[in-house]
Structure 1
């Protein structure tokens, strides 16, 4: 065997391929086997099909060498610098097996280039694979300059692709069920997936970061179908600034840039594609995280430090309600405008609430649970301040409404999330004597205003959050 033009030749019938004054020797049988172009040529009966040499034009020598190497050895290089020449030549010579191999070569470093090349040469499967990869790694793509060169409509399409899948309730926390063995006793930090048909929680296999174990008082929120868990404190009472992110499209956790400020018992929320960490234990400062740049920056601080408050975003602004200042109850509703980077103090409430959860839908904020203390005169106090209530605050009219209450369910230490048509709530029955075996599971329908109860959650645990994410179908089983 001998090497001519970078390709191994043998005693079988060989042909010469000429390009830009260079000559390459290749096996005729292998050309016919792996190239639709050559197969059609040599079966056409044309004059060129019987010649011992063939002239090609309009291709790059580098691309031809890569493709001929693959035809001869079934191996080639997929370096980013030569991708264009490889795709161009493989498309022209219709070496589809090379293009199929590219499906497994999609990476952060080349997916944008492969998407553009596949569009130019009409390689639809490769284009779909590259676009799907970009959707699966959306925040990482935001940080790459080449992604910003795509039209806004294309980037919006990538985001929409990321939001496809099945909306699924997930729970994260320290819990264990002795019957189902959700977690091991030495590592109770786990994730569960809710099966809405069977109305049961099932183990959800993934690798939770060990650094998140035994952390309390953290902030959690979902942005662009990523779950973020940020800050908190360890059992040693040491506050942390670390931030982790779960990507359901890849079923992987990763660590992002830590906050500038260590903080616990703060509120983490999303607004305009960014994260906001608001306040914390004896803190008034606020910082904002940009997924595009993977960094946190301080913004305008709260008018005063608060404890046991809550916050959420609604209609492009941040609202903070309840809690305590260093001296008294906080009765004011605080509103942050990102365009002005400033806080406004709105009309005070006629009641005091603490430890509530806040969610928003359209122009309405929902306050779930918490401990409520009525301040209006001649108002009969409730039997207990610890009861599960749902209240609404209209951000346009600034009107408060009490929508639903349950005196048998606790409004403290609950977790909730918006999912489909309602607010899904994990709370506890206030008649239980233990704070561990306390999980009840119900939904408040925001359209009908009614409660819907589900089976009790057979869990022992605490430090739990519940969230709603879009899972790929492969993770539903």
Structure 2
């Protein structure tokens, strides 16, 4: 394999939605604090004009147009269902309703007709194995293209389980589009510390590898840049790009640079590092932004949080964690960010970051013997927290599940083997959870709130800490 290139960073998607022109929010526009009655069928809705204009391209265009409707206090929307508009309003107010069946269809119809970007994002976050075909077909029907593509990618990742139903229920052109996409693969990189100029470019510990599931073997994808370190780094994937933030090298834990890997052109680029030097941080990517959460520096644990906007290439500080934390278990699910904060000896508190309010909101508290949360994984509206088992058996772990919709905890039955790191590096793909250690890669199927072993594949032959994630790789890269 040729040595990857290191160049300048490329743009990606932004964190926010569409901006509203400044004149729309000035007092003379008549939108500030003004209310509008929207009539959908026989149902009347009263809502702030500014909320609608800020969030819906339809209303932005209407109030820029100068048409007579701009002066009216009541607007009639034809060809929509009231339930779909009600769901849109709920999302615009910050709610995150769980939808199924007719609700999904009517919400997609409304999102497409009014171009409600927050609703379209919410629908993308709701894609799961039970609704992905409905989402895909309906999004194609109404031309909601972001949802259409996201649902197609989800189906592609589960194609082995869904192919029969896809061919039975979808038109041939929709099936062909799914099959044209590249499925995601399971990727791993071990903890690596730079050793200086004498280090060889292709040292085994410096390689990022992917699992060829058909051949049941690990293959080298790329080498880390010589200046990069994954030891105590933050590692995550955002928009199919791999990010390594921080990391340390040397006996004095000097903080290494930050890098981005783009599999589309097999290249690495250096990116700006957080303003606050930090290592042993938690890193998660959501909606065009990287979140560097907590960490430590010079033996001081931090509560500070920084956000990197991939489009603007800049870091900004966000609300601090409720208390300092290093290496905290962190995950995202349904477009939401969650972090576990441990309060010795038996309490794990879970917080959610709310971007619109820039605050950490307490979600729930788990009190268990040996309750320290080593890993947290999100699947649908469930958070799974893995923790050590009995004090005399640290090679097994226990798992608890918190359902975000019901607010209820439940414990999964039995113990899960944790030899050499399995379960503490879990990755979700569709209805599957991949776990990893040196001996084996184990795929579980999430069935309800139970994890059932599905198949065993080859383990990752690296010692020490391992980071795992999913990437979509071009066929040309996988053929090397």
What TM-score do the two structures reach when normalised by structure 1? Answer: 0.56
Question: In the alignment, does 2:405 pair up with 1:396?
Answer: yes
- Tell me, in whole angstroms, the C-alpha distance in 2 between the residues paired with 1:473 and 1:389: 39
Deviation, structure 1 residue 330: 4.6
Q: Which segments of 5 or more consecutive residues in structure 1 lack a partner in the other structure?
A: 1-136, 176-182, 373-380, 428-437
1:423 pairs with 426, 433, 438, which one?
433
- Tell me, in whole angstroms, the C-alpha distance in 2 between the residues paired with 1:364 and 1:408: 21
Question: In the alignment, does 2:363 pair up with 1:339?
Answer: no
- Tell me, in whole angstroms, the C-alpha distance in 2 between the residues paired with 1:232 and 1:184: 18
Q: Which segments of 5 or more consecutive residues in structure 2 lack a partner in the other structure?
A: 1-7, 20-114, 118-142, 154-180, 193-199
Deviation per CA, 1:110-149, whole angstroms, max 9, x where unpaired? xxxxxxxxxxxxxxxxxxxxxxxxxxx9952658xxx99x
- Tell me, in whole angstroms, the C-alpha distance in 2 between the residues paired with 1:174 and 1:338: 31
Q: Rate the CA distance shift 1:243–1:278 in 2: closer, same or farther, 3 A.
A: same
- Tell me, in whole angstroms, the C-alpha distance in 2 between the residues paired with 1:412 and 1:224: 27
Aligned to 1:444: 444
1:466 pairs with 452, 465, 468, which one?
468
1:190 pairs with 207, 225, 228, which one?
207
- Tell me, in whole angstroms, the C-alpha distance in 2 between the residues paired with 1:203 and 1:277: 27
Question: In the alignment, does 2:319 pair up with 1:319?
Answer: no
Question: In the alignment, does 2:288 pair up with 1:279?
Answer: no
Aligned to 1:54: none
Matches within 5 A, 1:157-168: 164-168=181-185
Q: Rate the CA distance shift 1:170–1:162 in 2: closer, same or farther, 3 A.
A: farther
Q: Rate the CA distance shift 1:321–1:460 in 2: closer, same or farther, 3 A.
A: closer
Deviation, structure 1 residue 222: 1.1
- Tell me, in whole angstroms, the C-alpha distance in 2 between the residues paired with 1:441 and 1:467: 13
1:222 pairs with 228, 234, 237, which one?
237
Q: Relative CO higher for 1 or 2, CA cutoff 8 Å, sep ≥ 6?
A: 2
Deviation, structure 1 residue 174: 5.4
Matches within 5 A, 1:12-51: none
Q: Rate the CA distance shift 1:452–1:463 in 2: closer, same or farther, 3 A.
A: same
Could you tell me whether the CA contact under 8 Å between 1:275 and 1:290 is conserved in 2? yes
Q: Higher mean Cα deviation, 298-307 or 345-354?
A: 345-354
Aligned length, in residue pairs: 307
- Tell me, in whole angstroms, the C-alpha distance in 2 between the residues paired with 1:161 and 1:401: 29
- Tell me, in whole angstroms, the C-alpha distance in 1 between the residues paired with 2:272 and 2:148: 24
- Tell me, in whole angstroms, the C-alpha distance in 2 between the residues paired with 1:397 and 1:411: 34
| Higher alpha-carbon Rg | 1
Could you tell me whether the CA contact under 8 Å between 2:339 and 2:350 is conserved in 1? yes
Q: Rate the CA distance shift 1:465–1:333 in 2: closer, same or farther, 3 A.
A: closer
- Tell me, in whole angstroms, the C-alpha distance in 2 between the residues paired with 1:464 and 1:301: 27
Could you tell me whether the CA contact under 8 Å between 2:191 and 2:231 is conserved in 1? no
Q: Higher mean Cα deviation, 349-358 or 194-203?
A: 349-358
Matches within 5 A, 1:166-315: 166-173=183-190, 186=203, 188-204=205-221, 206-213=222-229, 215-240=230-255, 242-281=257-296, 282-315=301-334
- Tell me, in whole angstroms, the C-alpha distance in 2 between the residues paired with 1:319 and 1:157: 24
- Report the 3-state secondary structure (helix = DSSP H, G, I; strand = E; otherwise coil) of the residue aligned with 2:224: coil
- Report the 3-state secondary structure (helix = DSSP H, G, I; strand = E; otherwise coil) of the residue aligned with 1:454: strand
Q: Rate the CA distance shift 1:235–1:416 in 2: closer, same or farther, 3 A.
A: farther
- Report the 3-state secondary structure (helix = DSSP H, G, I; strand = E; otherwise coil) of the residue aligned with 2:371: strand
2:375 pairs with 336, 352, 357, which one?
357
Deviation, structure 1 residue 370: 3.4
Q: Rate the CA distance shift 1:459–1:165 in 2: closer, same or farther, 3 A.
A: same
Q: What is the RMSD computed on CA atoms of the aligned residues?
A: 3.6
Deviation, structure 1 residue 190: 0.5
- Report the 3-state secondary structure (helix = DSSP H, G, I; strand = E; otherwise coil) of the residue aligned with 1:348: strand
What TM-score do the two structures reach when normalised by structure 2? Answer: 0.56
Aligned to 1:371: 388
1:140 pairs with 5, 8, 11, which one?
11
